[in-house]
């Protein structure tokens, strides 16, 4: 079955420390990978995506994620977090097809402490 696993439900980290949020997906020939961020009582905002090409993708606010086909992973990293990065982060995968629906993981709460 197609699935996305985010093993860490919550990641506490101090401000200015580095962080990694883990994401693994069930293997497939071709996948499209996404990270979304959700602030309280809001919808999801696209943070970054991997469709093809370079396996390292970056967002405008300092996050990056690396597609690793052999490990079926798409971990999200940031070298130095801010209080404002506190939010729920969701990894999602599309296996293509006519619908292009997304399958989401259960999310990781990034809790940045001063």
Of residues 94, 71, 62, the one with CA closest to residue 22: 71
State the Cα–Cα distance between residues 63 and 47, nearest whole angstrom. Answer: 8
Question: CB-wise, 17 or 51, nearer to another protein?
Answer: 51
Q: Is 104 in the site for another protein (CB under 8 A)?
A: yes
SS3 93: strand
Please list every residue from 69 through 98 that binds another protein, using CB under 8 A.
90, 92, 94, 98
Site string for another protein, 18-37 (x = CB under 8 A): --------------x-x-x-
State the Cα–Cα distance between residues 75 and 25, nearest whole angstrom. Answer: 11
Please list every residue from 50 through 69 that binds another protein, using CB under 8 A.
51
CB of 35 to another protein, least distance (A): 10
């Amino acid at each position: 079955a197609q699935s996305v696993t985010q093993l860490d439900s919550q990641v506490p980290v101090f401000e200015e420390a580095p962080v990694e949020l883990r994401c693994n997906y069930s293997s497939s020939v071709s996948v499209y990978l996404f990270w979304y961020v959700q602030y309280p009582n809001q919808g999801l905002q696209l943070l970054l995506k991997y469709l093809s090409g370079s396996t390292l993708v970056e967002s405008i606010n300092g996050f990056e994620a690396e597609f690793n086909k052999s490990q079926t992973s798409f971990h999200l990293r940031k070298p130095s977090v801010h209080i404002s990065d506190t939010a729920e982060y969701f990894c999602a995968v599309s296996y293509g097809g006519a619908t292009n629906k997304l399958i989401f993981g259960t999310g990781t709460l990034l809790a940045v402490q001063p």
